Structure 1
Amino acid sequence: MIKALVIVPYEGLYEMMKDIQQEVEDFQFDIELGNLYEGVAIAKEAENNGYHVIISRGGTASLIQEAVSIPVIDIQVSGYDVLRIITLVKGFSRKAAIVGFSNITQGAGTICKILDLDIKTLTITKDTEVKEILTNLKKHGYEVIIGDVVTVQTAKQLGLTGVLITSGKEAIMDALEEAKRSYRIFSQLQQDVSLFQSILDCNEQPIGVFNKEEKLVYGNERFNHEFHWMIVENSNDIKKLIQETAFTKEKQTRAVHINQSIWNIAACPQDGAIALFFEKNLSNQSVVQVGEREAKNAIEFRTSTSYVSLSGKSESIQKVLKQIDQYSVSDEAVWISGEKGNGKELAAHAIYVKRNNLYDPFIVLQSDLLRAGQLKDFMVEDFFQKHANGVIYVKNIDHLSADIQKELYHIVQNDHHKKIKWLVSSEDNMEEKVKSGIFDRELYQTLGQQKIYIPPLRERREDIEDLIHVFISDLHPKYGNGVVGIRPDALAKLVSYDWPSNVEQLKQVIEQLFKQTSSYYIEMEDVAAVLAQCEQPEKRAEALTSIDLNGTLEEIEKQVITKVLEEEGLNQSKAAKRLGINRSTLWRKLK
């Protein structure tokens, strides 16, 4: 039994379908009244309700065909239908025209020519064209308009006589026969698809198919196990890969970071779609987890990381920006130094953006998470040569142990094939560490030929106002409140603060002020309250080299929270997450 939904654009066809419903076998069908986009909405819902086929007419059928994946049968305008209407309008003395979609005008125009009737025929491709065409016909003296429902409705609105081309029983019976044929073919195709889908589901490799609009149209079982479709569909890296493959019409391969893992993805163009084949990068075996920080990887791919650009009008930051431009013209290593939180990674990313095709990865090595022997594992897997097109950023290189420093120097010295582009960052006392033997002299000399020093925020206070406005503008899309600026006295308070955690701390404070401000401007009293909270953990931290276990449980708890908050650069969200509590609980316990 074929389960069919008939969507009819006018009531007369609805009544005719009810009569035919009693006569036919092999069909179980429901009838709904809906024209054009109303019909599309009904069809979309029907697709999820187990219907095998949809039957409709004219422009409604054309729109439904684009919106659903099950067969859609168009009740064609037959020669009988056209002859019936032409016979009707032949007695009119007024000028007449036929206006409609091609499934109506094609046959009607032919019959008019055969019968030598002076009836103008115009074809539309979308319903929005009807009003303009009919208005123009009216100016040229046409008074009778023959067509489908949308044409007739518009004609009446313009004061013209509208004549609907209705479907007779012959056309409906032809449509039902076509529905039977389509159902048989579609059922066979569904069986074939099910077979191929079961084969793909047995494949251990994740496979996803996307259309040219970067929307997922199919994922095999392994794909759905590894990824949530929204994560993949919203990945900027994958969108760029699909766009490039669609444009070049050639196979592309790329390494992409998804779900804390690196995936090598092969993209193949396939008749209007892009098939993506995912293979986990072997270097993931070397991405280890360390102690309590097991959630963080020693290596991260950031092919499309969003960064706030370095900003400021001070002479020192303008010097940094000039050095970034200067060092971006070559692929030589750059050593970026400065205190924690003052934008070293922003400078590294700025160099990466200026040097590279953004399809190439920005690879971050977290120095404090690398273990002994791990870099050797990378060398065995030829990891650095595989990703030599990208930039490798060694973050906090001064945190490397002596053994790993030697491993890294060996890699840099044996870089004979593809030239690896190195960027590194550290604190600003590296010369002292080299002199004292804490840091390897040869590694420092090799990677430190080009240096950038970013001074702390307290030494470039004239940049604070500019940074505040940058942060406020970046927060609007995230929170969407009405803050547009800051009062002069509140700004002066922020400028006079020493910012021990530099730009990162300023950013966190502005975000907190932005969220809690109910007016258009950040006020002085809000700034004073937030900075007072910042100073409390700083003062406590001076006396806390370890947790004092002699106090009450509440006192010990507050010490732990304060210590974690300090280690997370006063970022309450990070501290709360690390402690396993929410931000409101953390705030309450600090009072």
Structure 2
Amino acid sequence: MKEKKIKALVIVPYEGLYEMMKEVQREVGDFHFDIELGNLFEGVALAKEAENKGYHVIISRGGTASMIQEAVSIPVIDIRVSGYDILRIITLVKGFSRKAAIVGFSNITQGASTVSQLLDLDIETMTITKGTEVNEKLLYLKSRGYEVVIGDVVTFQAAKKLGMTGVLITSGKEAIMEALEEARRSYRIFSKLQQQVSLFQFVLDCNREAIGIFNKEKKIVYANQRFNKEFHWMTVESSEEIKKLIQETVVAGESQMRTVHLNKSLWNITACPQEDTIVLLFELGKAIQTSKEEGNIGRNAIEFHTSISYIPIAGKSAGIQEVQQQVAEYSKSEQPVWICGEKGVGKDTAARLLYTKRRAGTEPFIVINCDTIKAEQLKGLKVEEFFDKYTNGTIYLKNIERLDKSLQREFCQIFKNKNNKLKWLASYEGKIEDKIKKGLFDRDLYQLLGQLKICIPPLRERKEDIEDLVQIFISELHPKHGNQVVGVRPDGLKELIAYDWPGNVKQLKQVIEQLFIQAKSFYIEKDEVVTVLKRLRESEQTDKTLIPIDLSGTLEDIEKRIIKKVLEEEELNQSKAAKRLGINRSTLWRKLK
């Protein structure tokens, strides 16, 4: 008889572990894996949704595994941090020129401290007993000049929010194999019990009603198939009406009935007390028609953020030091800031940094992509009084050089609104003076938004920043890809520094990711760097023979950019442009509307 496979839900807190689990999955024959990405509360949500789908075990890591153990009844296996994992990361951190510290729970810090001493490295080690201590420890380290923090996902994320370089201790293959062996032992113990649970679960899942069982703390301890199909557990748990119904049922000690609005529908709910739990039975009532939800307007043209990560502008060059000083100075003012520079230098990073430094409370960061926003979308926003509703927020006009001329005038009017307290940021690529002279950019809008300026120098003018940027990118790639690269060989680094980087920091980051993925050892070798840079140079030679046209957006957007390019080359002579494009002047005018 063929042995039954162990059905395991693997919830990983970072992308690199996801990729490594997929690789292990191909090598292990007695497991069936479903792999999901989720950290801490996200991981708990995934575990709760999956608990009733017949999984034998859940495999996770660190704090996420601990939280899942408290939330579900099936075995939870922790992928423990091994000595190999700590050794890899400490070897990576040796390449940083800045002060580094290790912050984490004792399962990380004890081993890390021992490895640091063995390698004779001066790395501060701080142990925490609960996640809420992380911020306090990191602020203390930051005040003492520490810039690099090594730890688990909680420490890694907290460090980035505080403007420090977070380095995640990733799990190696050996730690995963140990976790799978523990999962096998747990499965043998719990398999018989799970068979009995599955039988009762099948009976409940056959019920047409949505059934949710809550404890007296108003937390879900069981939900049947219909419940999981209709609701997200967090939506139900956070409903004030559901909380009130459960409380009344506990106090009364007998069944209660209530009609509640959930998921755009009315539900008739019967709550029945049963020992230490409350069973809720949901019967669908008459659906309610709802109005258009906020955020649907301009979905592709507008990004609405209530929280973004703190990402510092890295570098020790004079040019970047000046940018950092300007960001610090301008963050004390609410005047508009005009951010200019070549493609890929980090204009978006500067805008986000200004927002996080200026931010007080929960005001949103609203990105308007000027190359995709349409006149009807902006009109819809004005009709819904969008700019009045979020009057204390920050509006970031990204790639403002691509904004249609008619919309430039519209934004002028929005800016001049006396009731408007919005903070404005704009990014620009190219020479604005040329556009203004040719009538392609509204002079008034520039004068309104260009009161303060930040010009970010290209990477070829600040090559002393490349070494630090490379190490930062490698540390960021560990959570995403999970391989064992810890640095670039010195001769390979020289090749990277010698290259001119026409695509600037963005291009460097893409190249490092490519090299990181392709690397065959702990260090990226010189020949690997040379091969990638050779392809880049060949590609640049080909590109010089082509007219660069942005191909993002719809066919209509691309066509409009081509027409504008031809108009510029013909010095705004519509007759010449129309003749060159093979269309008449009226067609050209209509396509530009």
TM-score band w.r.t. shorter chain: 0.3 to 0.5
| Structure-2-length-normalised TM-score | 0.46
| Structure-1-length-normalised TM-score | 0.46
